[in-house]
Structure 1
Amino acid sequence: MAPQRFHEQFDQIQRSMPDVPLALGPDDASEFIYEKGVVLARDGRDAALVEETVRTHFTAATGLTGDHVRRDSPETNRSGITRIKVGDPGHGDRRGDRAVTHALRAMSEREGRAGRRIVSRNHVVSIAVNSCPGDEPVPASLSQGTNPAPAEAAHDPGTAVGVLVVDNGLTHDHALVPLLAHVDGDLHGTETDADGNLLQYVGHGTFIAGVLAAVAPNTDITVRNTLNDAGAILESELGDRLFEAVADGWPDIISLSAGTSNGRTDGLLGMDAFMQELHAHGTLLVAAAGNNASASPFWPAAYADLPEYRDVVLSVGALRGDGEFGACFSNHGSWVKVYAPGERLTSALTGFDAPVPYAYQHSTYEACRYGFTYVCTCQSPSHVGVLSEDGGTVKPDQVMFEGYAHWSGTSFATPVVAGLVAAHMTANKETDPRAARSQLLAANTQFAEVRGAHVPALRPAGWRPVPVVQRPVGA
């Protein structure tokens, strides 16, 4: 039986949030993760309405008690969101939370009359890692260089495009990589476990910064460690953390390789205030489409499909190694506006001060879990991971990183596109990143095939295709 990657990811995130009981949704469909016993509402009248309606509904119409229903956060956060407890978070298991489900149901009629969103689950927003288990980094030779290779352009502090990477922090030795000489920001902090092994996701933000710097050398890149807890954060906290990330000023471009689906088509309640301020500024948000091989909207990338945000947000899916077709793991659909190489890219994972070991967390599959016929990251390179083995009876495979890595995901297609927008700004002396986005897409003549659709594809000049191997029929 192939390992169930989403459940392994759930366990990893739950360990990083030991005090937050979590459940899968909707109804154990494994599309998203949310906090048990809690719903979200906007501060003020909406929060009071949710509290009153849910308490009355629980008392009159269900076997649930209204005793738990109360506001759980002060109305002082900048995101304008209140957490409301609606049940005992210790009830049930990962398969769902009936208190939250009933609370949403209790508000459905009110929302219908109001014609707007009033209540929401408190979703976990996480780094858009590949849902295939083979997305973990693979050591790469320093002599082969990065892929994409660095563009031939100089860094000019006077004209450099400001790019903010909202991710986990930089590795402590990142500055030893020449490509990252102009990268600034937060360090990750703890990078290894008690045995000296690199922790999962460490290097994610560093890798992204390297891809960005290679595609667009004339950038001032700042990396924030907003997502340092196993790459995850609760929706109720996300808005405030995003505001903190731009506290020193709004950049030209934000590159964000994280998100969540939520079963809706109108965005994340916890991001409303931030998205409104983003709209008011000139910043362009370039966001990863996610790696669930799903057409379900993944937020915040899917804001690109809402009329008021079409020029504000650019959603990015991933192409497979040859750049001709969509990667097996990439989310897809009309809300994904562009695709870029995102399979087996090469960038800096750490600096070069010392080799560091890494023990794989997830085992690979015998075949692509999504039924693709090419040998994808689900299958190769083959390895055994500690999270996938029952009882820990099999020793996980271990590798040594000396600086560079191959890695796959829409996480890494995203900085490719952010870099191309930045490079277009430099080449055309364009100061408006949203205008640069429109110009870049309008001038693009490259396409790829994704799930039978002909879609826009952006492939940087320094990118080298990776040969794709087809699995023999019947294998």
Structure 2
Amino acid sequence: MSEQRPNGDEGNAAASEPPKEIRTKEQAQIALILEEFGDEVEVSPRGWAEVGADSIYRTGSFLIRDRDLPRVRELFRGGRTDFPSIDGLTRFQPDPKFEFPPDAPQAETLTRRYLAYVDQVLGRGVARLDHLVYACSVSPCPATEQLEVPPAVSPTPAPVGGDCDGRGVKVLVVDVGWTETDAPWLAGVTGEDEHPYSSGTNIRPYAGHGVFIAGVLRCVAPRTEIVVKAYLNRAGAAFGSDLVVKLDEGLAENPDLISLSAGAKTGDGSTLLAFDVFLERLADLKGVLLVAAAGNDGDREYFFPAASPSTLSVGALAEDLNHRASFTNYGGWVDVYAPGENLINAYLHGDFTCTEPPYRGEVRHFRGMARWSGTSFATPLVAGLVAGRMSVTGENAHQAAEALVAQARQLPGVGRTLLPEDACPQPDHACCKPHCC
């Protein structure tokens, strides 16, 4: 059954049009998303190309908890719910021909009017937008496009030796997919294939993001088992409700950690309902931890799911390791900061045409390595530290993360910070397990 789209003056046409001229990184990133998703998405607010976007979400439907379905169905006198979902979450699509009562609130799009109507009658927060979760978008995550480096250059951070190597720990990397590489530190990594080339050796936007992330993680915890998933395989993005279905399926592989270098702003600071429900389900699996990127907007506004209480949220340190990176999000909701600027690691072989100003149209040539910046890459570094500690302490992921954050350095003006060599327990924070002390 095909999905119906809202139409008429209250539709989303003006909310999903790319700018006529690309002048900023934000415009370039959103233009790529609109090229992939078209009228499946709305960008808020109208006129976002001039004033900046605060959210991207699915057109024509919204999310509710299963328990609220009877009330919502009655309010809209029916509606469609036969979409893939996880227990506890329903995606609801009203009939586009539904007639609102005269006193129903107005809104800039039909989708937002649905929400406003539910808020008015059933209470605020019963219905939530199905936000697009992205590896690169509203403010780019990663913070920069990849840069060329000589093929013989060593990775930064360099591979860490010692006993805290991640052996026996499994990490699910949720990203754009996996491409085989000849980098020796990535031997044994597996994953779902990405489609990295648009033609010949022309690298697609977002391709290689998962390879780079796996490389950073392996340099910190070289014996960690890593599986890279292609859950963000549409322009580096996925709707929240679709992503949690995939994450729920991924739990069948029994990971200890999930590394997610993606997220979204919601515009009003509300959480992502899809992830609220997923994290509640994750809590039933003792010890499994979601490590999430804090985002690259350079402000303190919440970025989800990193800002959700049960995740480990990771911001980025500048290259000098003494300051926050200029692009990182920050605030009390960011748990820890780790190196995330000018990291070097495995990438693809081929040619990449830059999509973002001021280098838009410039062609870069890659030979298996790249330099990249973003909280996208600080995140797997911290996931690797957690895995490394787990391998010598016997702690589960939550316990290891709590201990790492407790021993982290407090950097004035930044917060708690971790470096690649911090996986092993410190003398003042030695674990209580006899075999590791």
Q: Give your verdict on TM over 0.5.
A: yes
Does residue 1:455 correspond to 2:420, yes or no? Answer: no
How far did 1:342 drift?
0.8
How far did 1:220 drift?
0.6
The residue number in structure 2 matching 1:360 is 354
8 Å contact 2:143–2:374 — kept in the other structure?
no
**Secondary structure in 2 aligned to 1:340?**
strand
12-21 or 160-169, larger mean C-alpha shift? 12-21
Distance 2:204 2:83 in 1: 36
Deviation by residue 1:49-75 (Cα, 9 ceiling, x = unmatched) = 23443x4xxxxxxxxxxxxx8533317
8 Å contact 1:41–1:118 — kept in the other structure?
yes
**Secondary structure in 2 aligned to 1:331?**
coil
Does residue 1:152 correspond to 2:161, yes or no? Answer: yes
8 Å contact 2:141–2:375 — kept in the other structure?
no
8 Å contact 1:133–1:363 — kept in the other structure?
no
**Secondary structure in 1 aligned to 2:202?**
coil
Does residue 1:418 correspond to 2:383, yes or no? Answer: yes
Query: 1:345-424 maps to which residues of 2 (within 5 A)?
Result: 345-350=343-348, 355-364=349-358, 384-385=359-360, 396-424=361-389
8 Å contact 1:25–1:33 — kept in the other structure?
no
Distance 2:149 2:373 in 1: 13
Does residue 1:141 correspond to 2:150, yes or no? Answer: yes
The residue number in structure 1 matching 2:428 is none
Does residue 1:34 correspond to 2:42, yes or no? Answer: no
Distance 2:300 2:165 in 1: 40
Q: 1:440 aligns with which of 377, 399, 404?
A: 404
Q: 1:279 aligns with which of 283, 297, 315?
A: 283
**1:439 aligned partner, one-letter code:** A
Q: 2:119 aligns with which of 108, 114, 121?
A: 108
Identity of aligned residues (%): 36
Deviation by residue 1:411-465 (Cα, 9 ceiling, x = unmatched) = 0010111111111222x4223111111111112224253xxxx411112139xxx
**Secondary structure in 2 aligned to 1:85?**
coil
8 Å contact 2:177–2:229 — kept in the other structure?
yes
Distance 1:138 1:26 in 2: 33
Q: 1:209 aligns with which of 205, 214, 222?
A: 214
How far did 1:199 drift?
0.3
8 Å contact 2:335–2:405 — kept in the other structure?
no
8 Å contact 1:317–1:340 — kept in the other structure?
yes
How far did 1:40 drift?
1.9
Q: Which runs of 5+ in 1 are unaligned?
A: 56-68, 89-95, 365-383, 386-395, 463-475
8 Å contact 1:131–1:329 — kept in the other structure?
no
The TM-score with structure 2 as length reference comes to 0.81
Distance 1:277 1:285 in 2: 12
Distance 1:132 1:239 in 2: 20
Query: 1:148-187 maps to which residues of 2 (within 5 A)?
Result: 148-153=157-162, 159-171=167-179, 173-174=180-181, 176-187=182-193
The residue number in structure 2 matching 1:341 is 339
The residue number in structure 2 matching 1:3 is 23
How far did 1:297 drift?
1.1
Distance 2:346 2:58 in 1: 34
Does residue 1:46 correspond to 2:68, yes or no? Answer: yes
**2:79 aligned partner, one-letter code:** R
How far did 1:22 drift?
2.6
How far did 1:162 drift?
1.0
Pair 21,446 (structure 1): closer, same or farther in 2 beyond 3 Å: closer
8 Å contact 2:213–2:376 — kept in the other structure?
yes
**2:188 aligned partner, one-letter code:** H
The residue number in structure 2 matching 1:121 is 129
**1:193 aligned partner, one-letter code:** S
Distance 2:159 2:234 in 1: 31
Distance 1:331 1:12 in 2: 23
**Secondary structure in 1 aligned to 2:264?**
strand
Distance 1:118 1:155 in 2: 45
**Secondary structure in 2 aligned to 1:441?**
helix
How far did 1:23 drift?
2.4
266-275 or 26-35, larger mean C-alpha shift? 26-35
CA-based RMSD: 2.6
Distance 1:358 1:110 in 2: 51
Q: 2:259 aligns with which of 241, 255, 260?
A: 255
Distance 2:186 2:132 in 1: 30
Deviation by residue 1:374-417 (Cα, 9 ceiling, x = unmatched) = xxxxxxxxxx21xxxxxxxxxx1111100110001110010111
The TM-score with structure 1 as length reference comes to 0.75
Query: 1:306-321 maps to which residues of 2 (within 5 A)?
Result: 309=310, 313-321=311-319
Does residue 1:17 correspond to 2:37, yes or no? Answer: yes
